[in-house]
Amino acid sequence: MAAGLGFKDFTTGEVLTAADVDGYLMQGVWVFASAAARDAAVTSPQEGNFAYLKDTNATTYYTGSAWTAIGGGGGKVLQVVQGTTTTSTTVASTTYADTTLTATITPTAATSKILVLFAQHAYAYRATQAVGLGIRLLRGATSIYDIGAPQPISILATGATAVDFETVVNGSYLDSPATTSATTYKTQGKVSSTADSGESIFQQSSGISTITLLEIGA
C-alpha cells in the first residue's frame, strides 16, 4: 500500500494509475469490525491511515509505528470490560491454580495501557497453627502481579486450634500489553500450607467476585 500522497487535482482525460488510487483516493476512513479485522486486512499500514472499529466505536490512526485511538491521549478511558464469577474454586495447594475470575479485552491501539481492577472473595482454613493465602494476576499465561502467601498484602491468621478467615482481596495493576489482539486477564490462588488440612477457597460465599479492565489511551 502506498503512503498517503496528500491532495491532487486530476485533469480531464488524465490516466488514473494504481499508485494514484492507493496514494490519493484510499485516504478515507476505513471501517472494520474490530482491531483484529483491521490488522488482518491492512498488513502494511502507512503513516496517516485511518480506521474506524465498530466493536469499540473508536477511530484509530497509524502513527508510522502503531495504531492509536483518536482522542485517546492524556489517559482517556477508551473502553471498559468487566468479568464476574459466583463459582467456587478450592485450591488445596501451595502452587498457584486458576480461579474462575477472568475477563478478555481487545485493545484498540498497541500503545494503550490496560488498568486491571479486581475484587476476589477468598477463604482459608487450617486445622492448627497459621494459615494464609495468595492471589496473583496473569495476562494470558504470564504472571504480572503477585501478592504472595503470606505477604503483608495477604491475610495471615494464627491460632492453637483450627483457624479460618474470610475476606475480599482487592488489587489493581496498570499493564502495557503492547497488542491489539484479544488479551485475557485472570486470577490464580494458593494456600500458604497444606499441612493439617490447609486449603483456600475462592468465591466461597454467595457474593460476586469482579475483574474490571479499562483501556487507557496513550
CB 191 within 8 A of CB 92: yes
Looking at 3.40.1620.70, 3.30.565.10, 3.40.50.720, 1.10.8.50, the CATH number of the domain 18-70 comes to 3.40.1620.70
In angstroms, the CA 159 to CA 26 distance is 72
- The three-class DSSP label of residue 181 is coil
Residue range 78-216 forms a domain whose CATH class is: mainly beta
Tell me whether domains 18-70 and 78-216 share a fold.
no
Nearest to 127 by CA among 190, 206, 46, 193: 193
* Residues in contact with 158: Cβ distance below 8 Å, sequence separation at least 6, in sequence order: 129, 130
Domain extent listing, the chain: 18-70, 78-216
How would you write the pLDDT of the chain (218 residues) with one tens digit per residue?
555 555 566 788 878 887 777 766 666 788 888 888 899 988 888 888 888 888 888 888 888 888 888 765 556 888 999 999 999 999 988 899 999 999 999 998 888 999 999 999 988 877 777 777 889 999 999 999 988 655 433 445 555 677 777 788 889 999 999 999 999 999 999 988 788 888 888 987 778 999 999 999 87
Beta pairing partners, 133: 191
